[in-house]
Amino acid sequence: MRDRSTGYPRNAWYALAASAEIGATPFGTRALDTPAVLFRTRDGAVAALGDRDAHRPFPLSLGHVDGDTIVSGYSGFAYDRTGACVRVPSQQHVPYGAGVPAYPVREDGGLVWVWLGEPSLAARRPPVPVPWLTDPAWETFGGQWETAAGVGLLHDNFADITHVAVVDPVISPPVLAGVAPALEVELTETTVHFQREWPAAPMPEWQAKISGASPTAAYPQREEGAFLAPGLWADRWDVLVPAEDGGPQTFRFTHAVTPVDERRTRHLWRVSRNFAPGQSVSDVLRPIFESYYLKVREILETMQQVIDRDGYGEDVNVAADLAALQVRKILRRLVADEG
């Protein structure tokens, strides 16, 4: 049987944390089966280092930050943002060449993106900008957690939203329960965009409530999804409300997916909207989206358990899977390029 797992490329920007999580306290995490520690230096920049003291197998994240260095809680070895060991307590000079790996970091959209692959490629593959996450025209909330499923299962999930009506009829726009209109897929070498023009239908009740629009009027709706990089999906849903009824309402859904290892994935999700501003509305929306994404997590974890137990099967694909298959194709190639 063909191995249906695509694995994941290392040469990509992955979100390891939200910016707000990183300060002068070491933040230990794991991505691509690699231990990493993040901390902020005095100039406000985030440093990302291998989370293992060069002296003994002890995580640096269990130590402390001292100025622009991180100090091991066991050996007392101090490392600067380049990973070089700059101080050891027991002797005058630093052991020649002692250090830990340092990884390129970019902060964008309130997320900390780290490049754990071939270091020379980081500057040659700029991260995809996510300006809407910090644009005041968009109100954003979100959450994050680890899903006990391989990243490939998350990609498959984001590549097709026709399951939403089955998984969560409350959150789902009612139109999703019908037969899906033709999916339009646009490819580039490393990205997949897809969209569907849905027929006019009412918006979900909760959306009518927060936006003050009519819960019964039918508005045309538009779905868009985009696999922009191995660690980033940016999707959107437009309800084309005419100007006299308040104008179009758009949600953007941003999913940063970071493989922890073959079977676990960090999922940082953000929901942005350009209508019904205000914290109180976000407080209404958050539990609705959180409960949906938690259901998805549970389902994907179950799928991973089935695969672990019974292996990959010859899944039957349907027309709606076209985008998912193109994403897999790109990922397979990117993994193969790494030799």
End-to-end CA distance of the chain: 23
The answer to whether residues 108 and 46 touch, using CB atoms and an 8 Å cutoff, is no
Strands 102-103 and 85-87: unpaired
319 binds another protein (CB under 8 A): yes
Residue 280 in the binding site for another protein (CB under 8 A) = no
Of residues 43 and 315, the one with the C-beta less far from another protein: 315
Of 19 and 191, CB closest to another protein: 191
Q: Which of 42, 93, 124, 309 binds another protein (CB under 8 A)?
A: 124
- The verdict on 140 binding another protein (CB under 8 A) reads no
For another protein, which is the closer residue by CB, 41 or 191? Answer: 191
For position 1 contacting another protein by CB under 8 A, the verdict is no
Binding residues for another protein, rule CB under 8 A, total 40
**Per-residue CA distances from 121 to 17, 37, 111, 228 (Å):** 21, 21, 20, 17
- In 3D space, the residue among 258, 280, 282 whose CA is nearest the CA of residue 272 turns out to be 282
Report the nearest approach of another protein to the CB of residue 160 (Å).
11
Q: Of 68-76, 101-109, 235-243, 321-329, which part binds another protein (CB under 8 A)?
A: 321-329
Q: Which stretch binds another protein (CB under 8 A): 175-183, 200-208, 210-218, 266-274?
A: 175-183
The tokens for 313 are 């099967």
207: nearest Cα among 271, 296, 130, 132: 271
Residues 193-232, interacting with another protein (CB under 8 A): 193, 229
CB 55 within 8 A of CB 68: no
| 338 binds another protein per the rule CB under 8 A | yes
Cα–Cα distances in angstroms (integers) from residue 231 to residues 105, 152, 183, 286, 324, in the given order:
14, 11, 23, 23, 15
Q: What span, in angstroms and rounded, lies between the C-alpha atoms of 192 and 233?
A: 10
Q: Which of 186, 197, 205, 283 is in the footprint of another protein by CB under 8 A?
A: 186
Residue selected from 231, 326, 327, 331 as contacting another protein according to rule CB under 8 A:
326
Residues 80-119 that bind another protein (CB under 8 A): 118
The reply to whether 125 sits near another protein by the rule CB under 8 A is yes
Q: Which two tokens stand for residue 182?
A: 């033709």
Q: How far is the CB of 82 from another protein (least distance, A)?
A: 17
The runs of H, that is alpha helices, within the chain are 151-158, 164-167, 205-211, 279-310, 322-337
Toward another protein, which CB reaches closer, 20 or 316? 316
Binding site for another protein (CB under 8 A): 2, 118, 120-121, 123-126, 128-129, 179-191, 193, 229, 316-322, 325-326, 329, 333, 336-339
